[in-house]
Structure 1
Amino acid sequence: MVAVDLPAGDGDAGLQEYADVVVEAIDDRGELIVVAQSMGEELAERLETYRRGRSA
């Protein structure tokens, strides 16, 4: 399990900044199961797009 500290206290941080933090935390891992709710669903979609692009 990987738990990340998202930059929630940074008023200028958006989904891209959140995605950058998560990508950094999971970048060297193999297969993943991502569990998300609410705004996290949008973040999970971005992660899938990123990981798909890396394996292409």
Structure 2
Amino acid sequence: MRPSGERLAKLAALPADGRIRVHVEAALPFADAAKAHERGEAGRAKGRLVSVLPG
């Protein structure tokens, strides 16, 4: 598979168009990335865990 800006744009449009939904359980500071990883590995996450970069 080769990189394709066109495919990426189509994929990025899916949530915006409401054609797919992404459940974000928590947005955690990047400094807590290890904790988020442990939480995901333990199976306690019921949705996506997002790391928020500082700035």
Q: TM-score, normalising length from structure 1?
A: 0.25
Kindly indicate which of the two structures has a greater share of residues assigned to helix: 1
Larger Rg belongs to = 2
Q: TM-score, normalising length from structure 2?
A: 0.26
